[in-house]
């Protein structure tokens, strides 16, 4: 009769003295693995310039039309760059085809995964918000 009770108590007591496995989200956030497919973002080169050359291959390959509004432009050294670029996180299915199609490694899925917003428009990233920034949530090795 008492044995099951003691067994349960033992389990409880054991757990009291072990490290908890739950994470205190949002105070604590989970580190994603480097190959995690999070939000797509435009990468920058060591000089801080976008790698994207507005070839639109990502737009072509995107199965859910999450990438749109790429406006190509010509730079002072005849380079091609995007003057506008829109990533719609509402439509993104995080399949990663864009980063596979990109010939310049200019679009990558990062390790961000949060999509909850009070304002939908915040999920539509225009070029500046879609560009990679320093962030402690982004591990240095994901690229």
Partner 1 sequence: MVNLTIDGRAVQTKKGQTILEACDDLGIFVPRLCYHPALKPIGACRICVVEVKPGPPRPLPACATYVAEGQEVVTASPKLDVIRLELMKLVLINHALECPVCDKGGECELQDLTHAIGVPEVDLAAVKLPPNQDYESQLVERHPDRCVTCGRCIHICRDRVGAMAINFTLRGYFTELTSGAVPLDCEFCGSCIDICPVGALINKQFKYRSRAWEVTKTEMACPFCGGGCTYELHVKDGKVMRVFNGGDKVVLCGRGRFGWPVVEAPDRLKTPLIRQDGQLQEATWDEALDLVAAKFRQITEAAGLGAIYGVGSPRATNEANYLFQKFFRQGLGTNNLDNPGRYTYIRALQGLAAVFGPAQVSGVELDPSRPPAFTSPYPVTDDAKGKGFPFVLGKIDDLPKADVVLVVGADVTPELPPLGWALLEARERDAFKLIVANNRRTKFDRYADLSMRCQPGTERLLVAGIIKALLAAEVTPAIRASGVEEFKESLKKLTLKDVAKKTGVEEAAIKAAADLLAQALAPAIIFGAELLAQDKGQENALALADLFLLVGKPGAPGSALYPVAEKNNTRGVCEVGVLPDFGPGFAPVDKPGAALPEVLALLEKGDAAAPQSLYLLGGDLLRFAPNHKQVEKALKKVPFIVVQDAFLTETAKLAHVVLPVAVHAEQEGTFISSDGTLGYLPRALSANGVKPDCLIIHEIASRMGYSIPTGGPANIFKDLAKAMPLWAGLAPKGSEPRADFGKDLSGQLVPFDLDVSLPGRRPLTLLVGKSLQHSGSFTTHHPCGALTVTPRAELGMNPDDAQGLGLTEGDAAKVTSSQGEISVPITLNPDLPPGLVFLPEHFADPAANALTLNSNLVRVTISKG
Stretch that binds partner 1, among 16-24, 67-75, 86-94, 127-135 (CB under 8 A): 67-75
For partner 1, the binding residue among 9, 10, 73, 84 (CB under 8 A) is 73
**Per rule CB under 8 A, count of chain residues that contact partner 1:** 14
Helix (H, G, I), strand (E, B) or coil at 10: helix
| 45 is a site residue for partner 1 (CB under 8 A) | no
For the chain, the 3-state helix, strand and coil shares in percent, each to the nearest 5, are: 25, 20, 55
Taking CB under 8 A as the criterion, which residues in 81-120 touch partner 1? 103-104
Segment interacting with partner 1, rule: CB under 8 A, options 29-37, 47-55, 117-125, 127-135: 47-55
Residue whose tokens read 């199965």: 63
User: Do 23 and 112 contact (CB within 8 A), yes or no?
Assistant: no
Residue 78 in contact with partner 1, rule: CB under 8 A: yes
Backbone dihedral region for residue 7 (phi beyond 0: left; psi -120 to 50: alpha; all else: beta):
alpha
- Give the span between the Cα atoms of 99 and 94, in whole angstroms: 10
The only residue of 33, 64, 79, 135 in contact with partner 1, by rule CB under 8 A: 79
Task: Select the residue interacting with partner 1 from 41, 50, 57, 125 (CB under 8 A).
Answer: 57
Q: CA 35, CA 57: separation in Å to the nearest integer?
A: 21
- Residues forming contacts to partner 1 in the complex (CB under 8 A) are 53-57, 60, 72-74, 78-80, 103-104
């Amino acid at each position: 009769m008492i044995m099951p009770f003691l067994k349960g108590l033992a389990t409880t007591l054991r757990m009291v003295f072990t490290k908890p496995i739950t994470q205190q989200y949002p105070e604590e956030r989970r580190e994603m693995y480097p190959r995690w497919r999070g939000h797509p973002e435009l990468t920058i080169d060591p000089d801080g310039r976008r790698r994207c050359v507005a070839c639109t291959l990502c737009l072509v390959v995107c199965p859910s039309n999450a990438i749109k509004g790429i406006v190509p432009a010509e730079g002072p050294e005849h380079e091609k760059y995007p003057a506008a670029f829109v990533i719609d996180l509402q439509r993104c299915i995080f399949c990663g085809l864009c980063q596979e199609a990109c010939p310049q490694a200019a679009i990558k899925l990062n390790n961000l995964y949060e999509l909850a917003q009070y304002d939908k428009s915040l999920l539509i990233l225009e070029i500046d918000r879609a560009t990679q920034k320093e962030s402690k949530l982004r591990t240095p090795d994901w690229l």
